[in-house]
Amino acid sequence: MAQRLVGLPAPDFTLETALGNGKEFGKVSLSDYRGKWLVMFFYPLDFTFVCPTEIIAMSDAIEEFKDLDAEVLGLSVDSVHSHRAWINTPRDQNGLGGLNFPLAADFNKTTARAYGVLDEEAGVAFRGLFIIDPEGILKYQVVTDLNVGRSTEETLRVLQALQAGGLCPANWKPGQETLSV
């Protein structure tokens, strides 16, 4: 099950990707994000029902992430060919209809295992969300059940709180005071 990774160097990875344009393949490593924040999320499988809602929401918010000097990367245990087919499937047919970030193929499940989100019995990843700082240190992790989609708004709020550099109370939002000690 999930292990504590927060405060430690994020586990390294090199994975093949299907680019968001639905045409090209690529390769991505943790080191590619050095100097930027990385919002990395695992989802169970392509062509499922909850997954496209959160993947599309993350894609639609890409400019907000970029404004915070953050990149986004989605991962599942599917192949790059499955990712590309799903990206090219129209949204009204349960597809992604193009994305603003790549989907990585953790086909051999080593990255999901390294991040502690692999459901060994089912052979898929739980919904794991990780925020990694520009130095490669994991600053935030949350893992949820397969049936519960994540909030892009909350992900952005947590990213902003991490970047605020202070003690942020519950429900803190940008522009609010941090706590003084």
Active site residues: 51
Bridge partner residues of 71 (DSSP): 38
DSSP string computed for the chain:
-----TTSBPPP-EEEEE-TTSS-EEEEEGGGGTTSEEEEEE-S-TT-SSHHHHHHHHHHTHHHHHHTTEEEEEEESS-HHHHHHHHHS-GGGTS----SS-EEE-TT-HHHHHTT-EETTTTEE-EEEEEE-TTSBEEEEEEE-TT-PPPHHHHHHHHHHHHH-SBPPTT--TTSPPBP-
CA pseudo-torsion sign 56, 43, 37, 176: positive
CB atoms within 10 A of CB 166: 12
